[in-house]
Structure 1
């Protein structure tokens, strides 16, 4: 399908004319927002439409598509599931850093993990889930916390699962390699020395950290989550900001079923459970976490 273009009229003596793609219309942008919603349940406000231009530029270049209007026209002519998934992934926010918002990690170290580890000493493994893990810094931060402050815990009994909807960031998390700029965001120098090797400006987690973490693709808004065994700790932080209330309720209902009776759920500082009837809020150490209430 040929692209829709507009050109400047020729004016003698003027610079050569420039060919440009037609700008995306409001209907084009609405169509793209709907794709993102169908794939991720993220409700994008029209005020954020400007992000499509920048975040999809790499995808457009790789596909030889000249602009958003042509992308929409192509998808309207023939739906392309892999392309729609790529659009949704590109629009997903992947902001993260090591030990992001240190308070939940300090609360784990001081209050929650000691009794939990003692209770699990003769039972099953300690299981932690980093949902929407992005490039893996949260999962690796949890692994470093355990190895640094609870060295008596057998690493064979530690399972840290990291999931994200984006295949690209899951692959990066699996590699565990980070640029110097990423390393300087929240990671103490002692952890860098102990848990990473480096080459040039890239740093890679050592095997003792890497083997504790498993990463996989998962859509949190799917009807079922990819786990059957319960978790002791679940980090679900800054994930639901753009979810509808119904999507939040359904997700947290599934999370409730996956959290052990004495487990702890951490949400983002501006997030709350959609159904407070099934959660007990606990405030400690300047942060809030949630315990699952037993259902009758």
Structure 2
């Protein structure tokens, strides 16, 4: 086992998912900041020092993020908020440079909650990321979609977006390691937890610790928000992301035979993609065996079709939502947005191979479609195709870097 693999193991990371380049960079930075004479001292230090593990993980797993990413998660939080007891407690981990907790705070304010009616705890292992997050200031790279109209919680200062005090002061920023057994050990449960783009980088044994911590911190009936491509992995750990249903245990009939099709189909409202592009071509929407193909009214307009697809998906009628998206593709023409919506529905159904094709179609039409890049990268990592995942991550980072001033 190499030095870098041993360091990753000590920190609870999957060296294949992080990649050798990321581990080398993290080892170099962590060794320097810890004052180690040689990198070979790092694994032992990581095994003994929680602060060193946080430093290493924060450098190894670089979170690319932006405002209003996966906006449906924030809309779902806003829908849940009125019925929740006060104060509403939300956890974002890892929080990176603060875009996600800012989105959660703005969603709760949009839902009519006063600043004292909720608190968002934002946790990350990287001190530099937290220092940036605490400022509540976001550059052009943090905005990859049009601002909601109205958006009273962000104000412009030159080329920056600044979170207003009512939102920023509702967020508590903490340095912490979500894989540690004592992570937020003295905190009461949360009504909602955002844990996205983290699971895929953790080793198998560390995933069990992550799941145990999230299970402890998520209150009864609480909502867990994950990346769409991570839903199946969380289900495998016994955690049910918001919008999915836990599989029904198989049963047997009186003759002892197990009937087919006795698992609940996951239900998830389609997230809204941020960018659209068009190109000639067919819809390419396929349906699995036995899929119901109820069609929306032929006279429906493009926007009506998109709304119908969202309503159908919200009700768990994902095959119907796919059929509606098929009609939208015919009415509006192929676009990255529509193919991404289709991929989200397919991921909710567990049809990952078809979802991958839809994501690749979205990227053919718009090579810079960030949500499709992110979800395809996670799928590639989940299936062990790490070289392809690294290429996609490189594309994503280049696009975000080009947007920075």
Q: TM-score, normalised by structure 1?
A: 0.69
Of residues 205, 212, 215, the one that matches 2:163 is: 205
State the partner residue of 2:182: 224
Q: Distance in 2 between matches of 1:250 and 1:84?
A: 15
Q: Distance in 2 between matches of 1:269 and 1:175?
A: 29
1:136 aligns with 2:80: no
Of residues 114, 118, 123, the one that matches 1:154 is: 114
| 5+ residue gaps, structure 1 | 1-26, 289-296
State the partner residue of 1:292: none
Larger radius of gyration: 1
Q: Distance in 2 between matches of 1:61 and 1:258?
A: 34
Using CA pairs under 8 Å that are at least 6 residues apart, name the structure with larger relative contact order, 1 or 2: 1
- Cα deviation for residue 277 of structure 1 reads 4.8
Q: Distance in 2 between matches of 1:194 and 1:240?
A: 33
Q: Distance in 2 between matches of 1:260 and 1:86?
A: 29
SS in 1 for 2:199: coil
SS in 2 for 1:265: strand
1:249–1:273 CA contact under 8 A, matched in 2: no
Q: Distance in 2 between matches of 1:119 and 1:62?
A: 43
1:246 aligns with 2:215: no
Counting strand residues as a fraction of each chain, which structure ranks higher?
A: 1
Q: Deviations for 1:131-183, whole angstroms, at most 9, x for unmatched residues?
A: 101111000001111222x22x232121111101111111111111221222x
Of residues 22, 31, 38, the one that matches 1:51 is: 22
After superposing the two structures, state which structure 1 stretch, 171-180 or 207-216, moved more.
171-180
1:72 aligns with 2:39: yes
SS in 2 for 1:229: coil
SS in 2 for 1:95: coil
State the partner residue of 1:19: none
2:4–2:20 CA contact under 8 A, matched in 1: no
2:137–2:160 CA contact under 8 A, matched in 1: yes
1:36 aligns with 2:8: yes
- Cα deviation for residue 46 of structure 1 reads 8.4
Q: 1:59 to 1:233 in 2, by over 3 A?
A: closer
Q: Distance in 1 between matches of 2:155 and 2:239?
A: 44
Q: 1:244 to 1:134 in 2, by over 3 A?
A: same
Q: Distance in 2 between matches of 1:126 and 1:245?
A: 32
- Cα deviation for residue 209 of structure 1 reads 0.9
Q: Distance in 2 between matches of 1:86 and 1:257?
A: 24
1:97–1:186 CA contact under 8 A, matched in 2: no
State the partner residue of 1:98: 67
1:35–1:84 CA contact under 8 A, matched in 2: no
2:89–2:118 CA contact under 8 A, matched in 1: yes
2:211–2:237 CA contact under 8 A, matched in 1: no
2:93–2:123 CA contact under 8 A, matched in 1: yes
For this pair of structures, how many residues does the alignment match? 243
1:252–1:274 CA contact under 8 A, matched in 2: no
| 5+ residue gaps, structure 2 | 247-265, 272-347, 349-405
2:3–2:43 CA contact under 8 A, matched in 1: no
State the partner residue of 2:391: none
Of residues 267, 273, 279, the one that matches 2:234 is: 273
State the partner residue of 1:234: 193
